[in-house]
Amino acid sequence: MLDGPLRWTEVAAIACGSILELSTASQRRIEAAHGIVRSVADSSMRAYGINTGVGALSDLVIPREQQALLSRRILLSHAAGVGSPLPSPEARAIMAAMVNNFAHGHSGLRLCVVQRIVELLNAGCTPHVPRQGSVGYISHSAQIGLALIGYGTVDLQGKSLAAADALARLNLEPLVLEAKEGLCLVNGTPCVTGLSCLVVHRALQLMDWADAVAAMTFETQRGQLRAFDPAVMPLRVSPGLLEVVATLNRMLAGSEILAAAAGRRTQDALSLRAIPQVHGAVRDAWRETAQTVERELGSVTDNPIVAGTVDSPQIYSQANPVGAGIGLAMDHLAVAMAELGGISASRLERIVNPLVSGLPAFLAQPGGTASGFMIAQYTAVSLLGENRRLAAPASLDGGATSGLQEDILCHATPGALKALQIIENVRHIIAIELLTSAQSYELLDLHAASPAPRAFAVYRALREVIGPYADDRPLGEDIDAAARFLWARDCGEILDRSGLSDG
């Protein structure tokens, strides 16, 4: 139920199919703001996007009888995105964030328009939203707005349909927009905010898996557990570091493998020894980003902002749709997640390198006819390189649009989109590390020294769906299956099922 601002967790849940409802209080706020817009439209008061053009045309006054036409034409002209459609969860996240923004009660569109977005969400009707074309906002939201008036293409019940046909199947009529509604539907930061909710959701899930897989690698590489001693770890001030240290010590408790390896070397390579420092820094960056996303969901990001009353309307032209804060946060987390993939790729190189692993080269079968995980490591290096390129800050792209009326651009939505791509790449890097760590267990003498029960529970869960690799099938299929495993399962559920949870 949307009463106050949605949380990022709620937006992520809606993106994955949860139902959205507007509270009575939200409906009243939306209706009150619309009453103010209607009062302004009927008056001689000049107000941006209500009775003026938009962008560099903001000083052109639009007569009352053409204000509805202005709204329609804003949608049609602003839906200028190109490229393949966003996946359904991404489009749904944007829709949920749009409703959240409108429910603050400072936008001014009719309740029936907001309810139509809710109806489409709850019916599983998702507009096709071209991925490219945004320098901050506008094009993605405009494409969603098109579906409300019967234009564009949508997905409904697994089929792609013309929006008008989908509305007919749902017994809904295309909307006829009124004053300011076209601007409302393309305005604000819901594009980046909705996508950012998915960024923080997926990043959290992946960070948890990165810690668990790193623990498996640390054990199979026979690391020095003293590096994670809780007695000294608090000397570095980092909440994320302490969280990772607790996870590692929990995952590795009871390891005879590590007990036997104690003192074998003075210290491990950094990709093993610095797991808490690097993974912890990523968690600290994630926490800061999540807070920024929560602030954005709690913010009114329209221009103009509608305030006052019907009798005393107040219209404020300002720059709240500029997503500098959330754009910078997306760049920050994108770099952090790329770093998470980087340390995973470094650990992976150690696993397959017999000079440092003490295991067969590339974890391959003996005899020279098998390559094992040789080329899987190439895949990880390729993804790491792509992440390095993607991690360049979108916030600094700049540019000028609309006849110099919009002469700074923060590229927040592109920032969120590239963060999602980095996370997807890191998921596959960690999936490869998971496969190689699991294969490493099979090359150790577990009769001589048993593994940590919790780390080995993850190994057993993986082996329920993916068997050991013996150059007997396309390795890419295993990598994709392992990546799906990371999204479908969580470590806590695996440990609960194994009777090894902390509870």
What's the pLDDT at 416?
97
Helices 275-297 and 190-220, packing angle to 10 deg:
160
Could you list the residue range(s) of the whole structural domain that residue 138 is in?
Answer: 8-187
| Rounded CA separation 306/50 (Å) | 11
Residue 253, classed as helix, strand or coil, is: coil
> For residue 40, how far is the Cα from the chain centroid?
38
| Rounded CA separation 155/129 (Å) | 11
Task: Say whether both 352 and 317 belong to one domain.
Answer: yes
Contacts of 10 (CB under 8 A, 6+ apart): 18, 96
Count of domains for the chain = 2
Task: Say whether both 179 and 87 belong to one domain.
Answer: yes
CB 314 within 8 A of CB 308: yes
| Rounded CA separation 1/378 (Å) | 47
Q: Which one has a higher pLDDT value, 423 or 410?
A: 423
Task: Say whether both 183 and 207 belong to one domain.
Answer: no
**pLDDT > 90? residue 210:** yes
What's the pLDDT at 345?
98
3-state helix, strand, coil in the chain (%, to 5): 60, 5, 35
The pLDDT tens digits for 76-130 are 999 999 999 999 999 999 999 999 999 999 999 999 999 999 999 999 999 999 9
**pLDDT > 60? residue 309:** yes
**pLDDT > 60? residue 503:** no
CATH number of the structural domain spanning residue 104: 1.10.275.10
What's the pLDDT at 241?
98
Backbone angles phi, psi at 202, to 5 degrees: -70, -35
What's the pLDDT at 134?
85
**pLDDT > 80? residue 406:** no
CB 464 within 8 A of CB 498: no
Residue 61's closest CA among 52, 72, 70, 69?
52
**3-state secondary structure string across 384-444:** HHHHHHHCCCHHHCCCCECCCCECCCCCHHHHHHHHHHHHHHHHHHHHHHHHHHHHHHHHC
Task: Say whether both 266 and 352 belong to one domain.
Answer: yes
Task: Say whether both 136 and 239 belong to one domain.
Answer: no
| Rounded CA separation 209/222 (Å) | 20
Q: What would the mean pLDDT of 237-252 be, rounded to a whole number?
A: 97
Domain boundary among 143, 169, 187: 187
DSSP 2: B
| Rounded CA separation 31/8 (Å) | 25
Q: What would the mean pLDDT of 161-179 be, rounded to a whole number?
A: 97
What's the pLDDT at 365?
86
The pLDDT tens digits for 26-48 are 999 999 999 999 999 888 888 88
Task: Say whether both 49 and 181 belong to one domain.
Answer: yes
What's the pLDDT at 153?
97
Domain boundary among 187, 218, 246: 187
Q: What would the mean pLDDT of 387-396 be, rounded to a whole number?
A: 93
What's the pLDDT at 367?
77
What's the pLDDT at 427?
98
CB 94 within 8 A of CB 129: yes
Contacts of 366 (CB under 8 A, 6+ apart): 360
| Rounded CA separation 286/201 (Å) | 10
Which two three-digit tokens encode residue 28? 């009243």
The model's pTM is 0.96
**pLDDT > 60? residue 480:** yes
Residue 79 one-letter amino acid: A
Task: Say whether both 23 and 141 belong to one domain.
Answer: yes
Task: Say whether both 14 and 45 belong to one domain.
Answer: yes
Q: What would the mean pLDDT of 60-79 be, rounded to a whole number?
A: 91
Q: Which of 417-431, 443-457, 461-475, 487-501 has the weakest average pLDDT?
A: 487-501
What's the pLDDT at 464?
96
What's the pLDDT at 91?
98
Task: Say whether both 257 and 326 belong to one domain.
Answer: yes
The percentage of residues in the chain with a pLDDT greater than 70, rounded to a whole number, is 99
Q: Which one has a higher pLDDT value, 161 or 61?
A: 161
What average pLDDT does the chain have? 94
Residue 349's closest CA among 449, 465, 433?
433
The pLDDT tens digits for 126-156 are 999 999 988 877 889 999 999 999 999 999 9
Sign for the pseudo-dihedral over CA of 213, 218, 219, 225:
negative
Contacts of 470 (CB under 8 A, 6+ apart): 365, 370
**pLDDT > 70? residue 404:** no
Task: Say whether both 48 and 144 belong to one domain.
Answer: yes
Task: Say whether both 269 and 240 belong to one domain.
Answer: yes
